[in-house]
Amino acid sequence: MSNLRVLYKNEIDSASLSGGITPASLPHSNLATDIKSQIFRSSTTVAEIAALWATPKFINCVMLPFTNFSSTATIRVMGYANAADTTAVFDSGVLPCCGYASRNTVPGVANFGYAGGAYASLFFVGGTVKRIVVYVSDSNNPAGYVEASRLLVGKYFEPVINADYGASIGWNDDSQHVRNDAGDLLTDIKTRSKTLTLNFSNASPSDRDALMAVMRNGIGSPLYISVFPNDADKNLEQDYQIWGKLSQQSAIIIARYSAYSTGLTIDEV
């Protein structure tokens, strides 16, 4: 089993996006916002997303949080050293990206704010490139199209020493109960979002550097964490992924010689 993986610098923030045909109101540029209700939607169950940078970037992971992908959706990522190149620096091949066991419905934008939306993730042997092209195929999607709220691309961090046992995942539910005069308990349904809490009690010096970078980004910059990347239990992997923001800054403590401790609590966007 791999250690958890973190992406705290999303290279899409400095990229220009383009690709295949989409509805005019749901363009590729929506993949560059941190508002999950602003989505990209393809016109079919096949989508192409191209990202271009002015300077080279090292890329070895691609994630699409909050999608309507079915469990059989696949992604292929190809990277090119220059914008006009036709020979790829890397090619992930066609790989499954959104595995999960049976769900009641394919999650769409209407329930992204109500504990809906599947995470798609792909980790691969990457390289330094100026352009990538992401191909999504989801022929079994009953909606007849694919949609996603954000594109996350960059170099992931995997700690030398994993987070402690006891990582917790839960839900924030802003709904409120009201009891009426007849004694009925009524619920004012409001939004729900995921929360992940992690503790590191034995972080190495290199892990401390990465955790410090996470803290330096502040609470306003989202980050992505997968606690069980590429796990055989796809529901476990799906449930313990999060794209969110630090709920607060945490101190990094010198626990002992060359060992550091801290904790993270991340609230889903």
What does the domain layout of the chain look like in residue ranges?
10-154, 168-268
Q: Is the pLDDT of residue 198 over 70?
A: yes
Q: Which residues contact 152 (CB under 8 A, 6 or more apart)?
A: 7, 10, 12, 61, 62, 63, 64, 65, 224, 243
Q: Is the pLDDT of residue 225 over 60?
A: yes
Q: State the chain's mean pLDDT as an integer.
A: 94
Query: Which residue's entry shows tokens 């980790």?
Result: 123
Inter-residue contact 37 to 113 (CB < 8 Å)? yes
- The pLDDT-based confidence of 1 (bands split at 50, 70, 90) is low
CA pair distance 156, 61, nearest whole angstrom:
7
Q: Is the pLDDT of residue 94 over 50?
A: yes
CA pair distance 248, 184, nearest whole angstrom:
38
Q: How many residues does the chain have?
A: 269
Q: Is the pLDDT of residue 181 over 90?
A: yes
- The pLDDT-based confidence of 116 (bands split at 50, 70, 90) is confident
Q: Which residue has the higher pLDDT, 20 or 150?
A: 150
Q: Which pair of tokens denotes residue 138?
A: 């989801």
Regarding beta strands 241-246 and 223-226, do their DSSP bridges make them parallel or antiparallel, or are they unpaired?
A: antiparallel
Residue 115: left if φ>0, alpha if ψ -120 to 50, beta else—which one?
left
Lowest mean pLDDT among 16-20, 180-184, 219-223: 16-20
Query: Which residue's entry shows tokens 């999950």?
Result: 36
Query: What is the percent of the chain with per-residue pLDDT over 90, rounded to a whole number?
Result: 89
Inter-residue contact 96 to 231 (CB < 8 Å)? no
Q: What pLDDT is recorded for position 218?
A: 94
Q: What pLDDT is recorded for position 107?
A: 67
CA pair distance 227, 241, nearest whole angstrom:
6
pTM of the predicted structure, to 2 decimals? 0.93
Inter-residue contact 2 to 208 (CB < 8 Å)? no
Q: What pLDDT is recorded for position 23?
A: 81
Q: What pLDDT is recorded for position 22?
A: 79
- The pLDDT-based confidence of 3 (bands split at 50, 70, 90) is very high
- The pLDDT-based confidence of 144 (bands split at 50, 70, 90) is very high
Span 210-237, mean pLDDT?
Answer: 95
Span 15-25, mean pLDDT?
Answer: 87
Inter-residue contact 135 to 84 (CB < 8 Å)? no
Query: Which residue's entry shows tokens 């992997």?
Result: 237
- Start-end of H helices in 116-233: 205-216
Span 22-49, mean pLDDT?
Answer: 93
Inter-residue contact 111 to 192 (CB < 8 Å)? no
Inter-residue contact 47 to 131 (CB < 8 Å)? no
Task: Determine the topology of domain 10-154 in CATH.
Answer: Jelly Rolls (2.60.120)
Q: What pLDDT is recorded for position 104?
A: 47
**Which secondary structure element, helix H or strand E, spans residue 165, and what is its range?**
none
Inter-residue contact 88 to 128 (CB < 8 Å)? no
Q: Which residues contact 81 (CB under 8 A, 6 or more apart)?
A: 56, 89, 128, 129, 130
CA pair distance 161, 159, nearest whole angstrom:
5
Regarding beta strands 176-179 and 168-173, do their DSSP bridges make them parallel or antiparallel, or are they unpaired?
A: unpaired
